[in-house]
Structure formats: structure tokens, C-alpha cells
Structure 1
Amino acid sequence: MDGATVRPCGSRALLFEVGSALEVAAIVDAVRAAGLPEVSELVPAARTVLVEVSAGASLDRVRAAVADADPRAGTVGTGVLHTIEVSYDGADLDLVAETAGISPDEVVALHSGAEYTVDFCGFAPGFGYLSGLPEPLQQPRLESSRTAVPAGSVGIADIYSCVYPRRSPGGWRLIGRTDTVLFDPAADRPALFTPGDRVRFEAR
């Protein structure tokens, strides 16, 4: 892929740096389509993709697969669709409404009316960064983070929405809460979200 910066990460991994979520998706698609058995980890992030291979394997086929990736062919948001029921009574709902210059009901309508894509996961197990947040709700993080945000809290920050999978510190603006379990270490699939999945929020 033209324009991608490639950085070695030790002897077994490459970090590809690109300029858009679509290019990230194109690299992920290309590596998966190549069906390389040596690939042990494929980790997309906001503007990077880390590809790791098994011990003793060459990175040459990974380089070749990414070189052939077409940034116009990336598929964003083609995974499983999750519907998350939300009680929109978050501590920052009024703040979000005031900042956006709209009513709390309009915040709810905007947030629940959009479809989101899990761009990448990080920060905590099961924590997905969900792009697709309507422009009026794209607001900065709180000036001071909370020391403890309850599990199931639905928040917004910058261009993303999120659901806190477990109790943790956090500075996202909280607009609601859900009972949906985002991370269960005892489950066959511990994390509910996988990059590329789609998410819709439903007011209850």
C-alpha cells in the first residue's frame, strides 16, 4: 500500500502506520485474505495495524500482502451487528446537551439513531472504540477523569462512543448505562466486540 509507513517491532512483527480508518481496514482485509498461517496476531488501532508472526517465520509474505492492499477496497463495519439497550440517564447527559446546544432528548435521539463501527479495542479488555458518533456529540473528554466509572457506562469522547466493560477510571462523558456484558473471561469469546463489528444503541 502506497503511503504506509512500516516499522519493525522486534524480529517477529511489523507496525503499519496509515492515515485513515479505511486504510487500516484495507490492510486487515489484505492480511486475512492472504490466509498466512504464520500470522499469530493482527491488531488494528485507530491509524495503525500490528502484524506478528510465529517464532522463526519470515515477515516477507506479510510485507507482500500489505503492499498489494488497495486503500479504496477496505471494508469498515461489515462484522456482527450488536444492539445494546441503554438507559440514558448518565451523569453528563445534561453537560453533553448544553455543550451541543440541544436538549437531552435530542442527545438521546442522535446517539441511538446512529450506527457505529468498532474501529479497535484497547484501554481495558473488551473496551471498543466505536466510530460513527454524530457531529454535535463529538465533544472533548472531561477536564478531570473520574477515579471509578461503573461497568456498563455508555460514554462519548472526541469522535468515539464507548461502553465501559468493567469498573475503571475514565474521563469520557457519560450519557447512559447498559446491563449488556462486554467482557466475560470465562466465556468462549470473552470480548463481545471485535474490530469491524457494528453497534446500535437502543433507548429503553
Structure 2
Amino acid sequence: MRELRAGSDAVLLDFSTGRAPEAEAAHTARALREALDEGRLMPCDIVPGAHTILVETRPGSGLDELSVLRVVHDARRSFTPPDEHSPTPSPPDLVIPVVYDGDDLADAAALAGMTEKQLIATHSRVLWTVQFMGFAPGFGYLVPGPETSARDADALARITRRGQSRPAVPTGSVAVAAGYSAVYPRSSPGGWFLLGRTDLPMWDSEARPPSLLTAGMTVRFEPTEAPS
């Protein structure tokens, strides 16, 4: 892991050189959030990325980097890289019901080398992990968990982005692109392939926390019928 100073108020933790950078970054981010909730860290923002974590405080307040690195050190000592040969399935933190009737379902299935039914089965069989949040409030970038078979992961990775983005993707759209999956928390432009839709709200500005998803959470999509 590399520690990259970002001024006096932030540090960027880079796990990209590790054997399992996504898993280690997610594990460390959870440890940092727990330490923050327990009062072992001064108030700060913890912003996970694909292989990185940015820890920052308000400009001018100064970051207690020693406390941050102490938590990181303990987290790295307790981290066990996922064993691809002996995966241990675990129950998801969140189940998202999906009506798989998306406009791009047929095209996505063709890219994956599957039938539509096979793609639905694959997408709903995978235990997804929220790798990081971005793009829009409540928008989580989900990646297949370590227990995902190589066949399923490869098929999903073959689904790239659409050749042309849509100016407005409907709220609740469940989509995939480049090995990621996501749920659009509100109507916005987007170039991902739409597989279906859910009525489960991803973002509620009145709720605490407002986002249904958080980095490190596990998610499973559950096929459901459209209401009659």
C-alpha cells in the first residue's frame, strides 16, 4: 500500500499494488468507518475508490494522519485475501427486487454470449459488492464478489458500454457495463445497458443516511414479476 499526501488535510491510500486491491480497499474502508463511528478518529470524510481510499478533513483543520494509519495498519493485519478456490458464500446486506424487462436486455445478452434468461440468471446469481460510490448521489458501482465463478465474471465483463448514451435513463433502472452493475437513483444521462428496473429507492434526502447503498455493502438482485 502507498500513502500519498494530499496537502495537510488529506491522505490517499493506494492499494493497487496488492494481490487483491479491491477487497483490501473495501476491508480497510469498513475499518475506517467503524473507527470513525466509535470515536477513534477525528471527524473526517472517507471516500473509497476502486483501489484507493481518500481520507480528508475540512480545509485548514489538519488531518490526524497517525490515528488514520494506526487503523489502516490494524485492518491490513486482519485482512485475508479471498480464496478463489474455496469461496465462502455469505448472505447479502441488501436484496434488490428487479423486473428484468430492460430495453437493452437482448443486446446485453448477445454481448455476453448468452440468452436473455441466462443473463438474468447470471446477474441475479452473483453476490455483488459496492466497490465505491460516485457519478450521482446514491449511485453505487457494484462488482462481482470473490466467490463469483470465472465464467460468470467473464460473461458480465464482455458487456461494454452502449455505443451511444441516453440523455435520460429512468429512475430505478438496473444496468450493467464493463463488469459493473448499478441502479440509477434518479433520472440522468447514462451509457450503460439497461437490464431492468426496481421500485426500491436508492436515494432519499430525508433519510439518515440518505443513500441506501454504502461502499463495502453486498447486494443480490432478485427477479420479480411486474405488478399487474
Mapping for residues 3-18 of structure 1, pairs under 5 Å: 4-18=1-15
Q: Which residue number in structure 1 is paired with residue 210 of structure 2? A: 190
Q: Which residue number in structure 2 is paired with residue 137 of structure 1? A: 156
Structure 2 residue 128 is matched with structure 1 residue 116: yes
- Counterpart of 1:163 (choices 183, 200, 212) is 183
Deviation at 1:101, TM superposition (A): 1.9
1:19-53, Cα deviation, whole Å (9 max, x unpaired): 21122124324434655331411111111101124
Q: Is the 8 A contact 1:141 1:172 kept in 2?
A: yes
Q: Which whole-Å CA distance do the structure 2 matches of 1:29 and 1:181 have between them?
A: 23
| Secondary structure of residue in 2 paired with 1:120 | strand
Mapping for residues 59-138 of structure 1, pairs under 5 Å: 59-70=65-76, 73=79, 81-132=93-144, 134-135=152-153, 136-138=155-157
| Secondary structure of residue in 1 paired with 2:13 | strand
TM-score, L = length of structure 1: 0.88
1:100-121, Cα deviation, whole Å (9 max, x unpaired): 2211011111111111111111
Q: Which whole-Å CA distance do the structure 1 matches of 2:141 and 2:54 have between them?
A: 17
Q: Is the 8 A contact 1:78 1:197 kept in 2?
A: no
Give the partner amino acid of 1:96: A
Q: Which whole-Å CA distance do the structure 1 matches of 2:112 and 2:166 have between them?
A: 22
1:78-104, Cα deviation, whole Å (9 max, x unpaired): 897111111111111000111122110
Deviation at 1:18, TM superposition (A): 1.5
Q: Which whole-Å CA distance do the structure 1 matches of 2:126 and 2:118 have between them?
A: 12
Q: Which whole-Å CA distance do the structure 1 matches of 2:170 and 2:113 have between them?
A: 27
Deviation at 1:180, TM superposition (A): 0.7
Deviation at 1:147, TM superposition (A): 0.9
Cα distance, 1:168–1:32 mapped onto 2, change above 3 Å:
closer
Q: Is the 8 A contact 2:167 2:189 kept in 1?
A: yes
Cα distance, 1:33–1:82 mapped onto 2, change above 3 Å:
closer
Give the partner amino acid of 2:5: P
Deviation at 1:69, TM superposition (A): 4.0
Which has the higher mean CA deviation after the structures are superposed, 164-173 or 182-191?
182-191
Aligned residues: 201
Q: Which whole-Å CA distance do the structure 2 matches of 1:25 and 1:78 have between them?
A: 16
Runs of 5+ consecutive residues of structure 1 not aligned to the other structure = none
Which has the higher mean CA deviation after the structures are superposed, 94-103 or 123-132?
94-103
Which has the higher mean CA deviation after the structures are superposed, 30-39 or 100-109?
30-39
Q: Which whole-Å CA distance do the structure 2 matches of 1:7 and 1:122 have between them?
A: 21
Which has the higher mean CA deviation after the structures are superposed, 101-110 or 32-41?
32-41
Cα distance, 1:32–1:61 mapped onto 2, change above 3 Å:
same
Cα distance, 1:129–1:74 mapped onto 2, change above 3 Å:
farther
Q: Which residue number in structure 1 is paired with residue 50 of structure 2? A: 46
Percent identity of equivalent pairs: 42
Q: Is the 8 A contact 1:78 1:196 kept in 2?
A: no
Runs of 5+ consecutive residues of structure 2 not aligned to the other structure = 83-88
Query: Larger % of strand: which?
Result: 1
1:149-181, Cα deviation, whole Å (9 max, x unpaired): 001000001121100000000111111011110
